[in-house]
Amino acid sequence: MPGWLAEVAGTGRLYLTVNDPADHPYGDPPAGALVTENPTPRGFAENVNAALRKVFVDDDQEAACVVNFDMQLDGGSLDALASVLGDQPAVGVVGAVLRGTDGAPIFSVGTWPTPLKEFLRASGLRSPALVAAQRRLLHRRSGWAARNTAPAGAVRPLRSDEYLPWTCLALRRQAWTDVGPLDERFPLYGEDIDWSLRCHQSRWRLGVRDCGSVVHFERATRGPRADSLYEVSHLELHRKWGWDASLKWQRRGLRARRSWPLRRWTEPLDWSYLTNIEASPRMNTAANDA
* Cα distances (Å, whole numbers) of residue 36 to 33, 61, 66: 10, 19, 15
- Specify whether 101 is located in the same domain as 182: yes
197-218 burial, b for 16+ CB within 10 Å, e for fewer?
bbbbeeebbbbbbbbeebbbee
- Specify whether 171 is located in the same domain as 268: no
Q: Is residue 57 part of a domain?
A: yes
Provide the number of structural domains found in the chain.
2
- Specify whether 96 is located in the same domain as 22: yes
**Quick one: which of 82, 73, 116, 102 has its CA closest to 249?**
116
- Specify whether 255 is located in the same domain as 278: yes
Residue 148's contacts (CB-CB under 8 Å, 6 or more residues apart) are 97, 98, 105, 106, 107, 108, 109
| Cβ-contact 91, 172 below 8 angstroms | yes
| Cβ-contact 199, 158 below 8 angstroms | no
- Specify whether 35 is located in the same domain as 84: yes
Paired with 19 in beta bridges are 38
Q: What number is the average pLDDT over the span 252-261? A: 84
Burial grade of 117 (CB within 10 A; 0-12, 13-18, 19 or more):
middle
pLDDT above 70: residue 281: no
pLDDT above 80: residue 1: no
Q: Which of 171, 189, 220 is the last residue of a domain?
A: 220
Q: Which of 168, 197, 220 is the last residue of a domain?
A: 220
User: What are phi and psi for residue 111, nearest 5 degrees?
Assistant: -120, 160
User: What are phi and psi for residue 48, nearest 5 degrees?
Assistant: -65, -40
- Specify whether 62 is located in the same domain as 94: yes
Domain span at residue 156 reads: 4-109+148-220
Q: What is the pLDDT of the chain when averaged over all its residues?
A: 84
Q: Is residue 135 part of a domain?
A: no
- Specify whether 160 is located in the same domain as 174: yes
Q: What number is the average pLDDT over the span 155-180? A: 95
Residue 94's contacts (CB-CB under 8 Å, 6 or more residues apart) are 81, 84, 85, 155, 169, 170, 206, 207, 208, 209
Q: Is residue 141 part of a domain?
A: no
Q: Is residue 131 part of a domain?
A: no
- Specify whether 267 is located in the same domain as 212: no
Residue 142's contacts (CB-CB under 8 Å, 6 or more residues apart) are none
- Specify whether 50 is located in the same domain as 183: yes
pLDDT digits (tens, 9 = 90+) for 138-158: 656 667 778 888 888 889 999
What string of DSSP letters covers 82-143?
HHHHHH-TTEEEEEEPPB-TTS-B---SEE---HHHHHHHHHT---HHHHHHHHHHHHTSHH
Q: What number is the average pLDDT over the span 252-265? A: 80
Q: Is residue 143 part of a domain?
A: no
Q: Is residue 76 part of a domain?
A: yes
- Specify whether 155 is located in the same domain as 250: no
- Specify whether 211 is located in the same domain as 242: no
Q: What number is the average pLDDT over the span 121-133? A: 71
pLDDT confidence band for 205 (50 / 70 / 90) = very high
**Alpha-carbon distance 94 to 62, whole Å?**
14
pLDDT digits (tens, 9 = 90+) for 216-249: 887 656 778 888 989 999 999 999 999 999 999 9
Q: Is residue 230 part of a domain?
A: yes
Task: Compute the Cα dihedral for 160, 165, 166, 171 and give only its sign.
Answer: negative
CA 143 and chain centroid, separation: 21
- Specify whether 197 is located in the same domain as 234: no
- Verdict on whether the full-model pTM lies above 0.95: no
Q: Which of 220, 248, 279 is the last residue of a domain?
A: 220
For position 86, which CATH number holds? Answer: 3.90.550.10
